[in-house]
Amino acid sequence: MDWGKRIEKPNAHIIRMMTVFVITLLVKMMILHWIMGVRLYFIQAAIMNLMTLTGLFLLFIYFFPKNYFKAFWWMHLLVSGLIFVNTVYYSHFFTLVPVGSVFQIGQLGGVSDSIFALLRPIYFLYFADTIYLRFWIKKKSKLYHSWYYDKKNRRNGIYAIAFMVLMSFMVGAINLVALSTEGNLRPANLGMINYHIYDTFRLTRPAPIVDPDQAEEAVIAIEEEEKDRRFEGLLEGRNIIVIQAESLQSFPMEHALADQEVTPVLNDLIRQDTLYFSNFYEQVGWGNTSDAEFVVHNGFYPSTSTFSYQAYEGNDFYTLPMHLEKQGYTSIVFHGNDPEFWSRQSAYPGQGIHHFYSAEDFEMNEIIGLGLSDYELYKQSIQWLKEKPEPFYAFYITLTCHHPFVMPEPYQWLDMPAEYEDTYLGHYLQSVYYMDQQIGYFINLLKEEGLYDHSAIVIYGDHQGVDMRNQEINEQVSRYISRPYQEDEMFRVPLMVHVPGSGVEEEITLAGGQIDFFPTMANLAGNPLAPDAVLGQDLLNIKEGFVAKQVHVSAGSFIDNEKIFIMSPEGLYDNSQSWNLKTGEQVPLEEARQGYERALAEITLSEYVMENNLIPRVQKAGLSGILDNIRFLLDLEK
């Protein structure tokens, strides 16, 4: 290109037109930022997104000199659609849509009821100016036909130069944000467009190298176990039946509704022959339910970019079903939904699952919400369960208690007080009660078929169903539980191991998470894992529990036996919160620094292991061996 001939004075009409498109998009983006609670970085995010939007439109002018006005409008429509989608997504998940969700487009049909429940007519106003601009373009094209359609229009290098200058400023601004937040780039400090660009970069970059010294402290903490093992082999030789209970949180078990127990069956279970983990927390990622099963079976954290079965497709794993297979167990999964939902059918062989019964195998004669009702799931599966050689590991994924939680009227069995009638919490409690009753029905089926006495029944909640960040819902739950509804309560889900005839009755109160399920179950089955084989801990043989959180709160957030720490959404440590779990009193942030660093180290180490397919090496050398390899690689770079 002859830049001397191609650098010309910019066309004033084009610049004015571009300004209209950019400013209207920026205003809508700022509305979204305000809805998201962006305050501290509100102005900075607006300026950075203004630069990015302007840069994108300059590129369109440069690359489409003869049709830039069409490109402008399509760009406006695309970004308006992105703002619309993010607003809907934020109303439920309280973050922006991850770029990795492109892999989840095939899942949308299965959750259409949940999506429609989130739509609000006002959201469609995001497209009002886009429609108007379409007519405005036509009007302008008639007034300035000569320069809109001049075939002699050619690329003007001044726009490319302006783009490069803007992007240089943009990179500098993002680096300043990264410096001020210790590298914690979040939607609340980057804004919508820039966060999506950053998220795209994260999706394609190699796994980050973990600081081996910092990670070693985390591994040492994980390895600390009691010398005298408790409950080792309690389940040995028994069938193990696991129920992953959709959206089940702990608070409905602990609070009656107008003198009605919401979970009478579960409450009866924890009173007899049961180990009950009362401070157990969900640790799901973008895959929600599918990530819950991934975490409990693998003992590593879920992907931070997309659902884990997609992110780690083709990896080699060592899972709980594989571990139990060494003791003669056959592993079975029952799920009354499309077998490819969350890529389960293609992922399960690599997870050590021998048999998978899905919507293709069940008679789909009662659909509630996403799929087969819990009642039919248990009723139809019992025949297959009877036919399996023992011992077996049976994993049930329930569906009925799913957002938006509106049960058919014949199944609304709770007498709902007027204050909760037709509310989100009221619908949720009705769904939980239905789930509880069907678990009772399933236990009776096991007794009738002679499977109950020599089985263990394990039940845990997969993830939260009632989000405390929704103000209306928060007020409802706070009133129901008679205390502020905060993150520690939102993330707390039950875990119980019911062992008929064992005489074991104990409540384990230390903090634990889904990542601890694999080592805990391995111990109960009589074949404990090496302490550094996974990132989870055997909750029956440690003193200090630790739960790292990611994705749905800022990375670095954690819960231990005494406190919870929630990293600020802006990524600033000093703006974070920490409080005592028992008293609710604020904890000085410096007391949480060590836990914050451990949480980041564990998550980064997990990501490094998974993205580099290092599970076989972990099985041979342990996590300490992985850290030794990292040190070796870092020494080579020096």
Q: How far apart are CA 173 and CA 468, in angstroms?
A: 33
Tokens of 33: 């930022």
Residue 246 marked in a binding site: yes
Instruction: Measure the CA–CA gap between 596 and 548, rounded to whole angstroms.
Output: 8
d(C-alpha 567, C-alpha 487), whole Å: 12
Burial class (CB in 10 A: 0-12, 13-18, 19+), 290: buried
Question: Is 402 flagged in the annotation as binding?
Answer: yes
Among candidate residues 334, 347, 359, 297, the one with its CA nearest the CA of residue 529? 297
Residue 396, classed as helix, strand or coil, is strand
CA–CA gap between residue 547 and residue 536 (Å, rounded):
9
Residue 97: strand, helix, or coil: coil
CA distance 612 to 623: 14
**CA-CA distance, 627 to 636, in Å (whole number)?**
14
Backbone angles phi, psi at 553, to 5 degrees: -135, 170
**Helix extents (H) in 416-516:** 424-448, 471-481, 487-490
Task: Give me the residues paired with residue 241 across strands.
Answer: 394, 457
DSSP 419: G
Cα 275 to Cα 607: distance, rounded to the nearest angstrom: 31
Does the annotation list 145 as a binding residue? Answer: no
Using CA atoms, how far apart are residues 13 and 601, in angstroms rounded to an integer? 53
Rama region for 373: left / alpha / beta (φ>0; ψ in -120 to 50; rest)? beta
Cα distance between residue 609 and residue 221, in whole Å: 18
SS3 of residue 131 by DSSP: helix
Choosing from 289, 304, 306, 330, the catalytic residue is 289
Long-range contacts for 553-557 (Cβ within 8 Å, ≥24 apart)? 553/487, 554/184, 554/186, 555/184, 555/304, 555/599, 555/600, 555/603, 556/184, 556/596, 556/597, 556/599, 556/600, 557/487, 557/596, 557/599
**CB neighbours of 268 closer than 8 A, spacing ≥ 6?**
none
Q: Which two tokens stand for residue 586?
A: 């604020």
Residue 532 assigned as binding residue: no
> Is residue 130 annotated as a catalytic residue, yes or no?
no
CB 257 within 8 A of CB 549: no
Q: What angle do CA 470, 475, 478 make, to 5 degrees?
A: 115
CA atoms of 65 and 52, how far apart (whole Å): 20
HEC per residue, 493-538: EEEEEECCCCCCEEEECCCEEHHHHHHHHHHHCCCCCCCCCCCCCC
Q: Burial, 636: exposed, middle or buried (Cβ in 10 Å; 0-12, 13-18, 19+)?
A: exposed
- Output the DSSP codes for 332-344: EEEESS-TTGGGH
Catalytic residues: 289
Q: Residues annotated as binding site for Mn(2+)?
A: 246, 289, 462-463
Binding annotation: 246, 289, 402, 462-463
Q: Annotated binding residues for substrate, as ranges?
A: 402
